[in-house]
Amino acid sequence: MLLSRAPASTGSSVSVSSRWTIAIDWMRAAVSSKARPSPPCGRPSSRQNTIAPGGTFGWHSHPGPSLVIVKAGTATFYKGDDPTCTPSVVPAGSGFVDNGHDTHVVRNEGSVDLVTVVVSFVPAGFARRIDEPSPGNCPF
């Protein structure tokens, strides 16, 4: 996955704003990840989310890959299959790739609003988000 301010020469690219171009190289994703990335089906879906301090997206999964860009605040990401519940902290101006098919939660553990832009590739006939029960590995 590449995140750049200029258009990429390989893969699919999506303009999220005048500042960023997102390019996902599906061949590299398939080689470098144990997840099963799905090729884009139609146009990618994008949305902006705002979470107040102390808020959460709740435990969930996705049927395909998503790129999450943190515009403001700090996202704290937990994986459902991590027995130690170790957080991944993603500050504003950074992002991460969710390869899909994994249960996770994103929380705002900071003191200001968390604002994210999410670009999702959802296979035809699937919901963008699948609510999941807490896997029980984290104390929250």
Is residue 32 over pLDDT 80?
no
Give the domain 38-131 fold.
Jelly Rolls (2.60.120)
Structural domain spans, the chain: 38-131
Could you tell me the two tokens for 98?
Answer: 């969710």
* C-alpha span between 69 and 119 (Å, rounded): 9
- Look at residue 43 in the predicted model and tell me its pLDDT: 60
Q: Write the pLDDT tens digit of every residue in 111-129.
A: 999 999 999 988 888 888 9
Q: Write the pLDDT tens digit of every residue in 103-112.
A: 999 999 999 9
Is residue 6 over pLDDT 50?
no
Q: What is the mean pLDDT of the chain?
A: 79
Please state, in angstroms and as integers, the Cα–Cα distance from residue 46 to each residue in 49, 111, 138, following that order: 10, 26, 29
